[in-house]
Structure 1
Amino acid sequence: MKNIKDKLPNDAYLFRMTDDTGMFQHARNAVPDPSEGYTTDDNARALVMAVLLYEAAGKPAYLELAARYLRFLLYARNGAWFRNFMDYDRRFREKKGSPDCFGRCVGALGFTASRKSLPAGIRKTSEDLLVQALPGCGDLAFVRSRAYAVIGLHEWNGGPSREILGKLASGLRDAYERSSGAGWNWFEDQITYCNAVLPWAMLDAYEATEEKRYLTIGLESLDFLLDNTFADGIFRPVGCWGWLPKGKAPAEFDQQPVEACGTLLACLKAFELTKKDVYRERAGQCLGWYTGQNVRNVSLIDPDSGGCMDGILPEGLNRNEGAESLVCWMTASLAWLRFSGDE
């Protein structure tokens, strides 16, 4: 990669948000809030981010972060599933986390197990934990949880991953066939949260199986999402205060950082498969959303802490700097740097 170490995002806040347990869930402004504890969701996302940082810079500190986030997932496992919400005293609040949390864990573990740049011990631990979780994939009924799992299994490409991936992908295909039609190219009757993971999973499923219908669905749904989230070259993610129900206008706020990262990653996958410049352009505009190319023309990145603010509200910015926002900003930046360096 071309001078990528000189372009890495500021990592200071990452170390502030991480203690010897893992990454805190929330913050008050730029100060981690222990009263809100931790989530496996955030630590799974952080694992991917730490691996990307290590691959970009080779710093032992980043490898240590990856091991810490992976250790969190080890502790979160309960049978073939994962617990999610943990209090500051390291006690989980439930015995079984959400299906989306499970899917994100499979996604992170598959990615980590596949990275040849990592020491064998970390890769093997990731793979062992993933294998222990595989039976849980059969219980996934929601489209996003299936999508995260498809992406992770595609990355891993080990053991029975292809058979499980095929079943999950066919479920996503069926959901799309049921809901799409008459100008609505989507998997559900509304566009809600973490949307781009759905077309991204279909593109990965095509790459894994060479099933052309998956490619068609992936591109159709991604194009539909982009048509509904871009205007005048500005990314306008569907707001969480109302979403985008079929046949209605999208909610403008609250716009959240997770959508910019997910859409960037899906667009980079689409560009990889099609070489169409529109996907590269949209990915770059998603990254720009964080730094001021948005409806408020204001950067969400805190110049003092290096953290990312939690969203755009009608009255301005949500100035809390939580884990999801930070990890999405870092991951989007690192994915774009890797993509730019490989061109």
Structure 2
Amino acid sequence: MGVSMIKPLSTNYLSSLTDDTGIFQHTKFGIPDRSKGYTSDDNARALIAAVMLNKRIRDKESLNLINTYLAFIHHAQNEDGSFRNFMDYNRLFIEKTGSEDCLGRCLWALGFTLSEPSVPHNVQNTCKYMINQALPHVRSLRSPRAMAYAIIGLTSMMQTENALRYKFPYPNMESDDPAFLPEAQIVSLIEELAMRLHTQYQSNKGESWQWFEDRITYGNAMLPWALFKASHFSNKEAFRQTAKESLDFLASITFAKEGYFKPVGSHGWLDRGGEAALYDEQPIEACEMLLACLEAYKTLGKETYREQASLCYEWFHGRNSRKESLIDAETGGCYDGIHASGLNLNQGSENIVSYCMAHEVMHNE
């Protein structure tokens, strides 16, 4: 099925995975698996998807989803500004602090939500407050992906007019919350995190290995995507060059000679000097590679990157190693990925959110 033949997405499937707490982490063939509870990771990604849907649909249901997912992230934030991740079905978080990647994903979602003008002001103000609370933790990030998520969220926010100013309903309204986000601090953080990624890449790359680490695992495309975003913000050619080299290397591994996208498999990944694991192929990798390729196209203007983004989108619809669509025509859900033996017929939140993001970006940018 070609891209032009795909019907517009609605909020129906997202809503079916969401209760008044948030989006469930897992399903059993599309039915929410309550025993697995919720995560901030999934609610952050779902917030991005809901904001994209609301931008196009502008209906009550998509706005309700935004409020639900943002309320979950707000609940997950500790008093010191860090975030908890895993919550059981009894609405109890089972850890005191989540991973660095969790904090980065939350910042990505908050910054992206803040960057969208169609989002109501009260939602934007909540995002600003939460970002401000989280900023003291950003400089201590060491996970490359956490830094990438944070860069993408912070640059998205900074590129939005009046993003740093709270919108109070009355000019003289008093508030206990800071009226402004610290612009100079955010600029400094973006530069510092991007420089760390750039330095790590330069230290690790070799003649036949243009990558940030000795292993390619999950969320790979976020790293070059973040440096492309940082290069727009800081206009540093070094960031742009590192982003291009690393994305081109990743593309050389993940686009099959037969003309389809094939992400590195999660059962083994790819070690330096080794062979890429063939399976499992996961939807989140197709989505994030699509986003990185589109950023490369916007930055460098090469049509190849837009064509690669299209291949990542078409992966969902059958242009893949199995020649099978991952979209369930009955539910509108997205299957969990491609195993060696066939499709994984579960339809969890990470995967439908990944498809929502890919669909909305390809059809509405």
With structure 2 as the length reference, what TM-score do the two structures score? 0.90
> Number of aligned pairs?
335
* Counterpart-to-counterpart distance in 1, 2:195 and 2:332: 41
Query: What's the offset of the Cα at 1:12?
Result: 2.0
* Counterpart mapping for 1:66-215 below 5 A: 66-78=66-78, 79-157=80-158, 158=164, 159=183, 160-215=185-240
Distance across 2 between alignment mates of 1:304 and 1:35: 25
Q: How many percent identity over aligned positions?
A: 45
Cα distance in 1 for residues equivalent to 2:31 and 2:115: 34
Structural RMSD (CA): 1.2
Partners of 1:34 and 1:109 in 2: CA distance: 26
- 154-163 or 311-320, larger mean C-alpha shift: 154-163
Mapped partners of 1:312, 1:11: distance in 2: 24
The superposition leaves residues 102-145 of structure 1 with CA deviations (integer Å, 9 ceiling, x where unpaired) of 10001110111121111110111111111110111022101000
Quote the residue 2:176 is aligned against: none
Q: How far has the Cα of 1:11 moved from its partner?
A: 3.1
Q: Which range moves more in the overlay, 44-53 or 154-163?
A: 154-163
Contact 2:335 2:343 survives alignment (8 Å) = yes
Contact 1:199 1:219 in 2 (8 A): yes
Out of 156-165 and 227-236, give the one that drifted further.
156-165
Q: Is the 8 A contact 2:11 2:61 kept in 1?
A: no
Q: Secondary structure at the match of 1:299?
A: coil
Task: Give the alignment of 1:1-343 within 5 angstroms.
Answer: 7-78=7-78, 79-157=80-158, 158=164, 159=183, 160-231=185-256, 232-339=258-365
8 Å CA contact 2:81–2:130 kept in 1: the answer is no
State the AA in 1 paired with 2:49.
Answer: M
Which whole-Å CA distance do the structure 1 matches of 2:192 and 2:364 have between them?
31
- In terms of fraction of residues, the more helix-rich structure is 1
Verify the 8 A CA contact 2:10 2:53 in the aligned structure 1. no
Deviation for aligned residue 1:7: 4.3
Unaligned runs of 5+ in 1: none
Worse-superposed segment, 113-122 or 208-217: 113-122
Unmatched segments (≥5 aa) in structure 2: 159-163, 165-182
Larger Rg, first or second structure (1 or 2)? 2
Runs of 4+, deviation exceeding 6 Å: none
8 Å contact kept, 1:11–1:306: no
Kept after mapping to 2: 8 A contact 1:107/1:148: yes
Query: Per the alignment, in what secondary structure is the counterpart of residue 139 of structure 2?
Result: helix
| C-alpha separation in 1, matches of 2:271 and 2:281 | 16
Report the 3-state secondary structure (helix = DSSP H, G, I; strand = E; otherwise coil) of the residue aligned with 1:69: helix
What TM-score, normalized to structure 1? 0.96
